[in-house]
Structure 1
Amino acid sequence: MALKKILILRFSAMGDVVLLVPVVRALVNAYPDVEVTVVTRPKFASFFTDIERVVPFPADVDYTYTGIFGMRELFKKLLRKGTYDLVVDMHDHMRTILLRSLFKIFGQRVVVFEKGRPEKHTFTQKENKRTEPLPHTVERYRMAFEKAGYPFAIGAAPYMVLKDSTREQVAEWLTKNNLVKKERWIGIAPFAAHTSKIWPLQNYSPLMEQLIKQGPVKFFLFGGGEKEVAFFDSLLKKFPEHVVIAAGQLKLKQELALMQHLDGMLCVDSSNMHLAALMGIPLLSIWGGTHPDVGFGPFRKGEESIVQISREELPCRPCSVYGKEKCFRGDFACLNRITPELVAGRLEHIK
């Protein structure tokens, strides 16, 4: 049986790309006659490895395939792999617009997902907001396939595929670091790409003090980069018996395997939040300038997984789809009004 070949184009940020995973898995599970190639940034290709009949195609659009000529070269390389029964643009960006146009010229069928720019704009504008919940990004991706004639349902988490060897590597890492679970294990991922998503860092020390008072607990810190590691080092010095720095110690999929050992994750609106949700990990996510109803909330998680200042109290929320730095009020009240006491109380009940 000849497999139908589907090509998916999706670059952008990690959170946008990882939200494709449950959709791609559901697609190939529903259609055994389909083979999928996912074109994405090299650092995100591992999300799609180990899924049957899914082949990641790493495309370095920042250095190798830049500009119009770079996109043309990428198109030629993809076309040399063969023709496609369907090309799905899951980005709708200048790069993918150019690529999909070339595929159309060569007679390939192309479908573009509905990004929802107009309704997202009205959701985040300063005046006359329209704040009805918008479709989740995962659902928007799924609807693109439905439009193309491939309807399917998305099953339950976990959605990320982990090899047994990856789990074994994490078990060895835990043993090497004398980490035996005798208390509650909480993951903390305090950073995001934009300031308007980051809960003030000075809140974490009093938060951890309160959680330590509640009962035995160990904190696993997730992130990367010099600034983040320096902050984690400061917490380790203050709480040496309670803090484990996972940042920089494990590869991405190993971090996912570690998350499965946790009792819960505390995140902001970030890729780590999406990863925890897709792994089915209990979590609490803190929201400031962005809002889960715009379509980027923790997938298949309810209000128990979200802490935010209501729009009744702060009608300016949200001020951004992705997390712009400028605050309409100038004081980031949406983040500063969320207290360590509030977060500690909510973390007691995550599940």
Structure 2
Amino acid sequence: MVREDTDQGDDLKKMLPKKILILRFSAMGDVVLLVPVLRSLLAEYPELQISVATRPKFTSFFHHLSSVKIIAADVDKEFKGFSGLWRLFRKLKTEKFDLVIDEHDHLRTKILRTLFFLAGTPTLVFDKGRSDKKKFSRTENKITKPLPHTVERYSDAFKKSGFNFPLLPGPHLISEPDIRNEVAQWLQAENLVKNEPWIGVAPFAMHRSKIWPIENYAKLFRLLLEQKSYRFFLFGGGQKEIDFFNTLKNEFPNQVTIVAGVLKLHKEIALMQKLDLMLCVDSSNMHFATLAGTPILSIWGGTHPDVGFGPFQRNANSIIQISPEELTCRPCSVYGKETCARGDFACMTRITPQLISNRVMSVLNLKS
């Protein structure tokens, strides 16, 4: 397509839809991956009116995109079931959108986009790549060629509508000044001054096959602290995770700060921007840190970054994993699972604290 500063480009631009509704309700990591696409799209097409319908708890992801309208839709309570979706459709329909893009392709969004289609509003759905993902993760005869990243799949849905734009480099999550100030005040209140490298640690994920054995973290901290002083910030959620973090706090009282249960998500992201490194697994915290521009090391087990959920715009130096050549069962799942066909979760247990310690010091340009 020709550049938009030509007459032909201007004519094509006039023909594009102007008011667009995006549907994406979950999961947290998938929703935040819309941000690079919308940021890039609006840089090229600032005149667009974009609305995003998502769960209320995810609305803060888009606050720094001032021209994006967020529609908080509680599909678990207020708009639950078909009758709830019907009411949500009627509410959304009053906005008179030119186009509805389903960036979820879930039963809820299938119902909503069908209702819009029947009402005469053009609709599009992004390609989830289900078939290729199944081939990548099946037990035998895997086809493990790298698949498009989820961000690219989201972007392609817009390109089907005629929009032509490059994906901008990060950072993509940019905390607002008042949030940064509140985090700075919290750090001051906690007497936290940056006299050593700050490392964020996010050990947990939804599924066991994505979790590096949590008993390894104390061993890892000891290895690192033998070399140099560090401050560890622990990210997560839920009482079980906080209980584990308290055991680390008790063992390393002068090096550990628990963030879980203390800061709201938008403040956590602002804190991530102050870190020298985020150590994480395949989880939403990985995506937050990546999009915030923080250097990361992500540990992968039963899943694989090449399926399309790896850290966006990062290279292999951000990944720690046992190669599929060594463990041909990898990956065993697209999204993670609770069981292991081998019974030993070797994809995680073979990754040692020493290996991760070495990688951390390498990323931070420190000698082991």
TMscore range, shorter length: over 0.9
Tell me the secondary structure at the aligned position of residue 12 of structure 1: coil
Counterparts of 1:132 and 1:50, CA distance in 2: 35
Are residue 204 (structure 1) and residue 217 (structure 2) matched? Answer: yes
Report the CA distance between 1:128 and its aligned residue. 0.6
What code does the residue aligned with 2:137 have? T
Structure 1 counterpart of 2:117: 104
Structure 2 counterpart of 1:83: 96
Structure 1 counterpart of 2:8: none
Structure 2 residue aligned with 1:172, among 174, 185, 189? 185
Counterparts of 2:363 and 2:27, CA distance in 1: 27
Counterparts of 1:309 and 1:50, CA distance in 2: 37
Contact 2:174–2:292 (8 Å) recurs in 1: no
Q: Deviations over 1:167-225 (max 9, x none)?
A: 11111001100000001111000011111101000000000000101111110001111
**1:315-334 maps to which residues of 2 (within 5 A)?**
315-334=328-347
Report the CA distance between 1:104 and its aligned residue. 0.6
Q: Deviations over 1:46-68 (max 9, x none)?
A: 11123121011111111121221
Counterparts of 2:62 and 2:293, CA distance in 1: 18
Q: Deviations over 1:227-270 (max 9, x none)?
A: 01000000000000110111111111111111111110000000
Report the CA distance between 1:341 and its aligned residue. 0.4
Are residue 65 (structure 1) and residue 79 (structure 2) matched? Answer: yes
Q: Which runs of 5+ in 2 are unaligned?
A: 1-13
Q: Deviations over 1:123-169 (max 9, x none)?
A: 00001100000000000000110011112111111101311111111
Structure 1 counterpart of 2:21: 7
Are residue 309 (structure 1) and residue 328 (structure 2) matched? Answer: no
The root-mean-square deviation of aligned C-alpha atoms, in Å, is 1.3
Structure 1 counterpart of 2:9: none
Are residue 139 (structure 1) and residue 139 (structure 2) matched? Answer: no
Counterparts of 1:161 and 1:105, CA distance in 2: 38
Counterparts of 2:79 and 2:168, CA distance in 1: 35
Counterparts of 2:64 and 2:291, CA distance in 1: 16
**Mean Cα displacement is larger for which, 128-137 or 60-69?**
60-69
Q: Which runs of 5+ in 1 are unaligned?
A: none
What code does the residue aligned with 1:10 have? R
Length-normalised TM-score, structure 2: 0.93
Contact 1:42–1:58 (8 Å) recurs in 2: yes
Tell me the secondary structure at the aligned position of residue 243 of structure 2: helix
Structure 2 counterpart of 1:39: 53
Contact 1:126–1:328 (8 Å) recurs in 2: no
Tell me the secondary structure at the aligned position of residue 348 of structure 1: helix
What code does the residue aligned with 2:79 have? Y
Structure 2 residue aligned with 1:260, among 273, 294, 303? 273
**1:168-247 maps to which residues of 2 (within 5 A)?**
168-247=181-260
Are residue 277 (structure 1) and residue 277 (structure 2) matched? Answer: no
**Mean Cα displacement is larger for which, 116-125 or 161-170?**
161-170
Are residue 50 (structure 1) and residue 64 (structure 2) matched? Answer: yes
Counterparts of 1:56 and 1:101, CA distance in 2: 21
Counterparts of 1:49 and 1:87, CA distance in 2: 21
Structure 1 counterpart of 2:143: 130
Counterparts of 2:349 and 2:34, CA distance in 1: 32
Length-normalised TM-score, structure 1: 0.98
Tell me the secondary structure at the aligned position of residue 312 of structure 1: coil
Structure 1 residue runs of 4 or more that deviate by more than 2 Å after TM superposition:
none
Tell me the secondary structure at the aligned position of residue 175 of structure 1: helix
Contact 1:6–1:37 (8 Å) recurs in 2: yes
**1:333-348 maps to which residues of 2 (within 5 A)?**
333-348=346-361
Contact 2:102–2:126 (8 Å) recurs in 1: yes
**Mean Cα displacement is larger for which, 59-68 or 204-213?**
59-68
Counterparts of 2:43 and 2:265, CA distance in 1: 24
Contact 1:39–1:59 (8 Å) recurs in 2: yes
Report the CA distance between 1:333 and its aligned residue. 0.5
